[in-house]
Amino acid sequence: MIDLAAVLLEAPRPLDPAALVEAGARFGLTLTPKGTDGVISLDLPEGDVHLVLIEAAHPGAAEPAYGPLAVEAEVARATTAHVLVTGRELPGEVRERDATMLRLVAATLQATGGVSASLAPGVIFHRPGLVLDFAALVADEGELPFEVAVDITSARESEDRMSFLTHGLERHGSEDLYVTASVNGRGALDFLLGVGRWFHQQPEMRLPTGDTLGRSETERVTIQRVPSPIDPSRTVVRLDLDL
């Protein structure tokens, strides 16, 4: 099994195995260098990781996706190099492997001074501080947080409405969310994060289509299942706020 991630760099910087080992230890990882011939290879107790410095901008950095947890677009566009992080034969199911990759990416960010990172869903470039903080939380508590297990993008739906779309809940056994709201409304992101964490923590749960949920005793948000706005072959749970 192969797991991929990337760390964006402002400029090419040689990879230092010792710095990676030291940074990995801060996130509860035991890394053992085993090769540096163009590729930094590090053994884990189970599986291994390979890091390659690519002296060119990440293919997605020129037109980065927008999202509430994403790094500013101009930061991604200004990068001129990236490190490809490849985990191989990491133990566990998706959630456990993603937790290991998160910590590997955090160690790479810290060892290289990276300015952003792309995690498993591969849609947005995350803020480095968010990756470091949640990786430290994983090292302490073991649970993979929703905010770094799943990517969230935002888009304008019309002149007076906008939306959030999750990427990766389906990968974790649940259903992705498509939340629309008024551009003048409040609380849509908090609503998405709350429902998203719920779906992430209980991936087997399927709320009946047509049922309602809400942020108060009086709010009624109807649960719909519709084609994904970016991939009509997939179904997402749509929740319309502020109607």
Determine contact, residues 106/38, Cβ cutoff 8 Å.
no
> Is residue 114 located within the same domain as residue 139?
yes
What pLDDT is stored for residue 37 in this prediction? 67
For CA atoms 86, 92, 95, 99, give the dihedral sign: negative
> Is residue 123 located within the same domain as residue 210?
no
Could you say which of 119, 146, 173 is where a domain stops? 146
Could you say which of 118, 146, 174 is where a domain stops? 146
- Residue 123, Cα to own-chain centre: how many angstroms? 8
Q: What whole-number distance in Å separates Cα of residue 142 and Cα of residue 139?
A: 6
In sequence order, what E strands does 131-220 have? 151-156, 161-167, 177-182, 212-213
Q: What whole-number distance in Å separates Cα of residue 4 and Cα of residue 58?
A: 13
Q: What whole-number distance in Å separates Cα of residue 154 and Cα of residue 51?
A: 31
What pLDDT is stored for residue 152 in this prediction? 98
Tens of pLDDT along the chain (243 residues)? 899 999 999 999 999 999 999 999 999 999 999 876 678 999 999 999 999 999 999 999 999 999 999 999 999 999 999 999 999 999 999 999 999 999 999 999 999 999 999 998 899 999 999 999 999 999 999 999 999 999 999 999 999 999 999 999 999 999 999 999 999 988 999 999 999 999 999 999 999 999 999 888 899 999 999 999 999 999 999 999 986
What pLDDT is stored for residue 36 in this prediction? 67
> Is residue 162 located within the same domain as residue 106?
no
Residue 189: strand, helix, or coil: helix
Q: What whole-number distance in Å separates Cα of residue 29 and Cα of residue 227?
A: 40
Residue 71 belongs to what domain range? 2-146
Q: What whole-number distance in Å separates Cα of residue 239 and Cα of residue 116?
A: 30
* Residue 137: partners with Cβ closer than 8 Å, 6 or more residues away: 143, 145
- What are the tokens at 104? 């590997």
**Number of independent structural domains in the chain:** 2
> Is residue 28 located within the same domain as residue 140?
yes
> Is residue 77 located within the same domain as residue 133?
yes
What pLDDT is stored for residue 34 in this prediction? 87
Single pTM value for the model: 0.94
> Is residue 178 located within the same domain as residue 229?
yes
Could you say which of 92, 117, 146 is where a domain stops? 146
> Is residue 98 located within the same domain as residue 178?
no
